[in-house]
Amino acid sequence: MKDAEEKFKALLDRQSQTVEAAAAEYRRRYDMDPPKGFEEWFAFAKKNEFRMMDEFDGLMEDLAPYRVLSGEEFRRRVQQVSSLPSIDIVRVRDGKSFAVNLEKGFDDPEASARAHGLRRMLEPFAQRLPDLDFPVNAKAEGRILVPWEHQKYPNLTVQDSSGGVKSMVGDFTADWRGSGTVWEAYRRTCEPSSPARQLFSSLRPSVVNRTIRAMYSTEPDPAQEFTFPEGTDARYSFCDNPWAHYFQGHFFSDWRTIPVLYPVLSPAKGLGFGDIRIPSHYYHGSTSMYTYGWDPVNMILKDVDDMEMPWELKSDKIFWRGATTGGGSSPPGFSHQYQRQRFVRMVSDQARTEHTVVFPDPSGSGKYLSTVVPASALNEELTDVAFTTAVDADNYPGGITAMRKELKFADPVPLGEHWAHKYLVDFDGMSYSGRFMAFLSSDSAVVKSTVYQEFFSDWIQPWLHFIPLSSTYKEIYNIHAFFSGPSPSTLAAANVSAPLDNRAAQEGDRRLRRIARAGKHWKRTIGRKVDMEVYVYRLCLEYARLWADDRDGMGYSH
């Protein structure tokens, strides 16, 4: 936490304060001039007190593959991909933006919410943009998976789409329909020598089962140190660890991925996907399900949600409610292993499983103690986690009966019910979590597990603004013990008495509240709606240069 705070402070301190400094930093990082309109963008950002002037490495990484295409080829690919299912288009013409669904061929109020979200983000500066078309993913899942051979060999640079979209993608259908899977498409993006491309290696049951047991086993290890596992996260290589794909639902999406370098704007992407990231419409808009402080009656956004409560009155329990989403059913039979299902099953465990818990010595010695505690006791004392809605139950092994027997269910709660708890866990769903910004806005601390990169990934600092959680989830009990002290069952297992004045637990609670406050401050200063607009404005300038035939003339050379 100390390292995270120092790292983030240094990041803020080195941001450019003048357009000349920002242009110089741009040239240093990317070895080219900034795009045309950079000065106006900088003025817009400065006026709105934008704090991350130089941090767009993720955006540049998204756009880099398209620089090998000519302007003509880029524009043609935009038009072609916009004709595919579940791709809408946001169009800028004469300084105004609007959403179109090309399958219908006219301005369409039914174009996806994501397209309309991008259109709203464009409005403050659309008058400064040239005529452009932006293909927007109507789905939450990533769509672009370009095989390794097309990424690395020269045939990508000479690939010609003039033969039409069918020459590029063949007979494209909206979903897999048994003709393949996301994983089969994904592993083709890996190097030929990688384990994911070695089909026999990636399917060997003995190796897979041993590795899975090692990573996900809850058997106690008395020698366990107080460390946090390098589990799956936004930079985790599924190419090197193909067995791990069974535990992430986005590899089982029903929606067809696109095996061509087509520019598609999506709200998030996993490592290996070629989508271009944009802010989520859930973050930029305001709804009762996804927005902290939203008053749907008076249609206003409040600084403090009506259901917020003082820190001292919040529960110490780890809280989560949600639906059994998390992936598709192509192929069926794996949904019990998706990210949300695994966590709910783990914290609902009433069997004889045990966990090793490391906790600060209540006597105030400054040391840490270790003991083995029954999972049933820990889960009862530390967690309040349940599904509220059963989605796609027919494809769950054993159907709805097995789902309700194996997973805990409870009544749905309003978003504001979350603010009654100090710990809010945030998981991926079909893609990214649309509630993350709302959780950050609250006075609670966010514990986040994700394999997705989003537009703000360069701007936020784990262990300062939120607590990162690996996809094994195994460290969740140690996280709670560090911040809130040992639970009664932990003290009993260790045969230790809780002192009347537990200063170690008080210090942990102070640190937890500090994370909650830092996350809230980040949301109010760096995760604002206007910050999303600044990001999209910068994206538009870079995109306009790719769109142009004369890219040299689309630079800022002052």
pLDDT at 229: 54
Residue 503 is predicted with a pLDDT of 81
Q: Using the 8-state DSSP alphabet, how is residue 541 labeled?
A: H
Locus of tokens 């403050």: 124
Residue 200: predicted pLDDT: 53
pLDDT at position 100: 82
DSSP lists the bridge partners of residue 385 as 320
Query: Kind of pairing, strands 383-389 and 315-323?
Result: parallel
Nearest to 311 by CA among 36, 512, 18: 512
Q: What contacts 33, CB < 8 A, 6 or more positions away?
A: 23, 26, 27, 555, 556, 557
Question: Residue 156: what pLDDT?
Answer: 59
Q: Using 70 as the pLDDT threshold, list the residues of the chain that sit under it.
A: 102-111, 152-158, 199-232, 500-501
Residue 103 CB neighbour total at 10 angstroms: 14
Contacts 24+ apart (CB under 8 A), 503-507: 503/364, 504/360, 504/361, 504/362, 504/364, 505/360, 505/362
pTM as predicted: 0.93
Is the Cβ–Cβ distance between 254 and 175 less than 8 Å?
A: yes
Closest CA to 489 of 320, 355, 318: 355
Domain locations along the chain:
66-280+533-554, 298-529
Alpha-carbon span 366 to 67, nearest angstrom: 55
SS3 232: coil
Residue 460 is encoded by which pair of tokens? 């936020």
pLDDT for position 116: 93
Distances in whole angstroms, Cα of residue 469 to Cα of each of 3, 135, 229, 503: 17, 33, 9, 26
Minimal CA–CA distance to 348: which of 308, 311, 328, 318? Answer: 318
Closest CA to 522 of 43, 5, 3: 5
Identify the residue whose tokens are 């784990």: 462
Q: Is 298-529 a CATH 1.10.8 domain?
A: no
